[in-house]
Amino acid sequence: MAAAGPMALRRVGAAAAARGRGTLLTRGILTRAAPPRHRGPLPRTPWTTRGPPPEELARAVERRPVREQVELDAVTYAGRQHFVPGLARPRFPPWDRGWHDPWHSPGPRYEDMPLYKERGCYVCHQRVRMLEGVRQAQWLTKTKLVEGLPPSVLSIVDDSAHRLEDYEERVKCAISHARLWDTTEVAPRREHYCPVLFEDLLHICRLMSMKYPSLAKRMLARNYKISATWERESTLLQVRGLNGILMNSMAPIPPVASKEEILATEEHVLETFYPISPTIDLQEVNVYKELNDTGFRDGYPYSHPHTLFFLESANIRPNRFRPEQLRAKMLMFAFGNALAKAKVLYGNDPKVLEQPVVVQSIGTDGQLFQFMVFQLNTTDLVSSDGIKNLVWIDSDQNLYEKAQCIPEVKKRVVTKPAGIYGFQPDTFKKFLALYLHGTV
């Protein structure tokens, strides 16, 4: 080590090797030798017992740049063209190629882009996980929350004329198909079984169209993009991008809440969560276009958004949205769809809608279901008082408790044979009721 200087590069492992391979850990990273560290208890000096003197503290708080703290005429070894111990380290100006190479250019700056605006806009896209969840989404969309599904949907669930009990066997088959039978491996992964379960349930719902012919007037759209812009107490907000699978219908859903309920929302006060700002976790952009687009061109026959489906099918748990975050995302995108449709129907001026726009939303991760019905009553969202929008949420409905792919064996005895455990038919009834809502 005598030959190597303090500024020379050396491998960390050399120190370990010098120590005689005491450790198994060899890290091949290059470091510079740090000044020798004092590894014992601190020496008891007035500085360590009483703290540094005030002028030292003041200097630390000052935050002068390092180059000012070092003397200005510090002599560097730049002229010497090689390292010299004792001289300062020079800082060179960044190298300029002299010509524009498209493969190595940093790109245009935000300030030079044509859509640059001084005022920032907060964008909610499909990867946004809101800290405060549904409360934050409520504040941003000026919505009042009602627990449970609305009475018009519950009446479809309870109505025995629909004979929803006949479908229990089919639903169990669908769950077994998705969770147990659909793969050549032993057990399918969530990325595989979540969409399969959703498709199977939707297939069962679609087969109801033999009883209700107007159900045929529905169309699914995958990979569509929504854009909606609104202002909320001096912050500009946008909902953008791909979100989920949208089911469109030719006829809109009739309004769910009565006029009295809508007028009663005037007294409701939106929750704030000071000191957290309501725009936390939203992406702030300065380059944007204020766009309102439903995702489809004019003249589309199935012009009314009916239900939005969200599938949380990531295999790894941290990549999936938690139920609270999923509900917030469902609320934001249902609102975005309703707002874009309302602006197409009634124009861009903020006003209270005589015919509220209703959009439903269902989110699932293959087992838990979240149901939501959103009614847009007003597009006047700048102030926090006045008529508010309404949302009904039914959260955390389990379709089944457990799906056992291989039988559980304890001490060579089969304790739990393979199959689906804890099936709850009510969840599917609500799914079907939300599907039938608007035509029945």
Partner 1 sequence: MRRSSAALREERGAIERRASRKAPPLSVPAALSRGGACRLEGWLVHVVPSGQSGVPGGEGCPSAVSLLCKMAASGRRRLLSHGRCWFSQTESAAPPQSPDSLYPPIVASATAKSKAAKRRRLEYFNQRVHAAASIEEKLRLYGQLQRPKYMLYPQTFALNADRWYRSFTKTVFVPGLPPRAVSAAAKAPGAVAPEAAKTPEGAAGVAPEAAKAPAPGTAAPGAAKTPGLAAGAAPYLDMGELRSLACDALLQESFYQNKKRPYLYRDQDHTPGPFLTQLVSTLAAFLCGRNPLLAASSLDLKPEVNYYWHHGEEVVVHGHRKGRVDPVRFQIDDHPHLQIRVPKQLPEIVPLESDLGDVPVIDHKPSKLPLFKKQYENKVFIGSKVADPCCYGHTQFHLIPDKLKRERFVRANLEDQIEVLYRANGIASLFAWTAAQAMYQGFWNEADVTHPFVSQAVVTDGKYFAFFCYQLNTLALTVETIQNNPRKNICWGTDSKPLYDVVEDGSVKGFNDEVLLQLVRFLLNRPKEL
Q: Which residues bind partner 1 (CB under 8 A)?
A: 170, 173-174, 176-177, 180-184, 195-196, 199-200, 203, 206-207, 209-210, 215-216, 219-225, 293, 295-297, 299-302, 409, 411-415, 417
Asked if residues 6 and 31 have their Cβ atoms less than 8 Å apart, the reply is no
Cβ proximity to partner 1: between 183 and 283 the closer is 183
Place of tokens 């599938």: 311
Cβ proximity to partner 1: between 64 and 411 the closer is 411
Q: How far is the CB of 179 from partner 1 (least distance, A)?
A: 11
Q: How far is the CB of 199 from partner 1 (least distance, A)?
A: 6
Cβ proximity to partner 1: between 280 and 414 the closer is 414
Q: How far is the CB of 138 from partner 1 (least distance, A)?
A: 29
Q: How far is the CB of 100 from partner 1 (least distance, A)?
A: 26
Q: How far is the CB of 281 from partner 1 (least distance, A)?
A: 27
Q: How far apart, in whole angstroms, are the C-alpha atoms of residue 377 and residue 371?
A: 20
The CA distances from residue 129 to 48, 272, 316, 323, 349, in Å, are 45, 18, 16, 11, 30
The phi and psi torsions of 211 (rounded to 5 degrees) equal: -85, -35
CB atoms within 10 A of CB 306: 26
The phi and psi torsions of 425 (rounded to 5 degrees) equal: -70, -20
Q: How far is the CB of 407 from partner 1 (least distance, A)?
A: 9
Q: Would you call 431 exposed, middle or buried from its count of C-beta atoms within 10 A (0-12, 13-18, 19+)?
A: buried
Amino acid at site 98: G
Asked if residues 179 and 420 have their Cβ atoms less than 8 Å apart, the reply is yes
Q: How far is the CB of 331 from partner 1 (least distance, A)?
A: 24
Give the chain's end-to-end CA distance (angstroms, integer): 86
Q: How far apart, in whole angstroms, are the C-alpha atoms of residue 157 and residue 134?
A: 25
Cβ proximity to partner 1: between 77 and 300 the closer is 300
Cβ proximity to partner 1: between 204 and 334 the closer is 204
Cβ proximity to partner 1: between 205 and 339 the closer is 205
Q: Would you call 365 exposed, middle or buried from its count of C-beta atoms within 10 A (0-12, 13-18, 19+)?
A: buried
Cβ proximity to partner 1: between 178 and 282 the closer is 178
Cβ proximity to partner 1: between 177 and 268 the closer is 177
Q: How far is the CB of 294 from partner 1 (least distance, A)?
A: 9
**Residue 351 falls in which region: left (phi positive, over 0), alpha (psi -120 to 50) or beta:** beta
Q: How far is the CB of 244 from partner 1 (least distance, A)?
A: 14
Q: How far apart, in whole angstroms, are the C-alpha atoms of residue 191 and residue 252?
A: 32
Cβ proximity to partner 1: between 205 and 328 the closer is 205
Asked if residues 405 and 186 have their Cβ atoms less than 8 Å apart, the reply is yes
Q: How far apart, in whole angstroms, are the C-alpha atoms of residue 7 and residue 278?
A: 50
Q: How far apart, in whole angstroms, are the C-alpha atoms of residue 5 and residue 373?
A: 71
Q: How far apart, in whole angstroms, are the C-alpha atoms of residue 344 and residue 41?
A: 73
Q: How far apart, in whole angstroms, are the C-alpha atoms of residue 126 and residue 134?
A: 15
Copy the structure tokens of residue 77: 């070894």
Cβ proximity to partner 1: between 182 and 380 the closer is 182
Taking Cα atoms as reference points, which of 438, 298, 424 lies closest to residue 368?
424
Exposure of 270 in the CB half-sphere (CA atoms within 13 A): 24
Cis peptide before 275 (omega within 30 of 0): yes
Q: How far is the CB of 299 from partner 1 (least distance, A)?
A: 6
Cβ proximity to partner 1: between 252 and 278 the closer is 252
Cβ proximity to partner 1: between 215 and 391 the closer is 215
Q: How far is the CB of 257 from partner 1 (least distance, A)?
A: 31
Which run of H or E residues covers position 146?
A: strand 143-147
Q: How far is the CB of 169 from partner 1 (least distance, A)?
A: 10
